Amino acid sequence: MAWLIRSKARLLVSATRPLRAPVDSFHCSRFSDLTDHSVFSFPRKWLRSKARRLNDVDDNQSGSSSSPHINRRTTVSQLEVSSNSRVRVDLFDELKQRFLSFKEHKYLEELEHFQTLKEAQSPKFMVIACADSRVCPSTILGFRPGEAFMIRNVANLVPPFENGPSETNAALEFAVKTLEVENILIIGHSCCGGIQTLMSMRDDGDSSFIKSWVTTGTVAKLRTEAAANHLSFDQQCRLCEKESINRSLLNLLTYSWIEDRVRKGLLFVHGGYYDFLNCTFEKWTLDFKGSSGEEGARLLVKDQELWC
């Protein structure tokens, strides 16, 4: 008798074995997909009961997650997208608050000034600065709206006239010919990535938009290397940051409509260097009588100051 019971038990186990894989894989959610007829004789009530128990376990495991709002099947990429979206919303919420603060504490308090700007702009300065996010001329020098016409580019470079049209000389033309600014100020700065790219470039045929642009400062690079070849790379870059400003000042004189106004004393061109590591600002003015933007250019400066 015992032998007969054990024999039937083994047959029962053998009959249920094909069920285990689909049960484990699909959590018994769909029994209609099973095609192994060896299980059809197994009691259907037991199958349905087993399916319910497995699904209950699955639901309990999902509910035991530390975050009740996140299904455990949610992918990592979905979580990252959700997180990035919240960050973008938070950033623009902050910008919104800054704008509203500007409106309340600047615009409305200086309404008469802003009403004047509706009619026209008459800035005294044309500023050429680097696009670096750490160097904002309006923040550093306190320009109010309407006081400075600005163009920002990589490494605050001014290409010579013969290089042809660019955004920089288009802005210069508008500022000098139309707005008739009285001062052009070129501002360089410490730790300039554009100058570092220029100083590390080699003639290996590799090119990019950035490298094509910073070649405007090649003369400054060559002069720096000739004068400071014994110094470290970082020290050479610092010297080139200032040398490139002076080369750009001379490049301004290659534009006849700038050179003419400078000669007549209607326009002055200045260099500035902002060291944001120590928060100092150097300022100097090109001495037109002793300078030349022609081939074999030479530069003399005056009115040098260090603001610290």
CA distance 80 to 77: 5
**Which residue in the block uniquely carries the two structure tokens 């200045």?**
270
Closest among 193, 262, 250, 254 to 223, alpha carbons compared: 250
Flag whether 130 is marked binding.
yes
Sheet with strand 148-153: strands edge to edge:
148-153, 125-130, 183-189, 268-275, 280-286, 301-307
Flag whether 189 is marked binding.
yes
Flag whether 28 is marked binding.
no
Closest among 201, 215, 204 to 166, alpha carbons compared: 215
Contact between residue 250 and residue 193 where contact means Cβ atoms under 8 Å apart: no
Q: Which amino acid is residue 11, in one-letter code? A: L
- The single-letter DSSP state of residue 176 is I
Q: Which residues are annotated as a binding site for Zn(2+)?
A: 130, 132, 189, 192
Binding residues: 130, 132, 189, 192
